[in-house]
Amino acid sequence: MKVVAVSQRVDEFPERGEARDALDQRLVAFLLAAGCLPVPVPNAIIQREQGALQRWLDVVAPEAIVLSGGNDIGQCAARDLTEGRLLEHALTRQLPVLGICRGMQMLAHWSGGALKPVSGHVRTRHRLSGQIVAEVNSFHDWALAGCPQGFEVLARSEDGEIEAARHLDLPWEGWMWHPEREAIFAAHDLQRLKQLFQV
């Protein structure tokens, strides 16, 4: 199985003085179904000391990276820093990356792209057109304001928003939908992930 580092959302519990990393068990199941071994990345490690996350990456030695959904960019500094470092690691080593929902937004943001608020994209479904033709779920309040430099659009929703993009030189893709939230994992999502990660 291919070892995949997976970023985690941060859930805050102020009444307990806790900030918890969290990963949907369905995302783990989706990655396992694609032949991957997911390893969650702890967000707090980047705040411990200089180079701590890099030492963690050196030990785990991921062969691919998934930037998961949840949280808005700017909501949790530790997560933003962690995902930025994961992308630097992937760039240096030419590792495949899949960004899911917020993860796609982070790919765009890290690459110099802008985001914009969007309506009609929460708890709904979209028909995609473009290089990816499918019906997908939608759970986001933010969208890409345009295609970031170095990327190409793979799919758009009916209202013209960018729903998938890929890097022109690196094995990096972003999907605005959540493949793990389908009752039965879509064959096209599993096939596309296997192709991207070369599983």
pLDDT at position 176 is: 97
d(CA 83, CA 185): 25
Beta bridge partner(s), residue 83: none
pLDDT at position 48 is: 76
45-88 per-position pLDDT tens digit: 987 777 899 999 999 999 999 999 999 999 999 999 999 999 99
Percent of the chain with pLDDT over 90: 93
Average pLDDT over residues 169-176: 98
| Environment class of 155 (CB within 10 Å of its CB; exposed 0-12, middle 13-18, buried 19+) | buried
Percent of the chain with pLDDT over 70: 100
Q: Which domains does the chain have, with CATH numbers?
A: 2-197 (3.40.50.880)
51: its two tokens: 């180079």
Least confident of 20-24, 75-79, 120-124: 120-124
129-154 per-position pLDDT tens digit: 999 999 999 999 999 999 999 999 99
pLDDT at position 160 is: 93
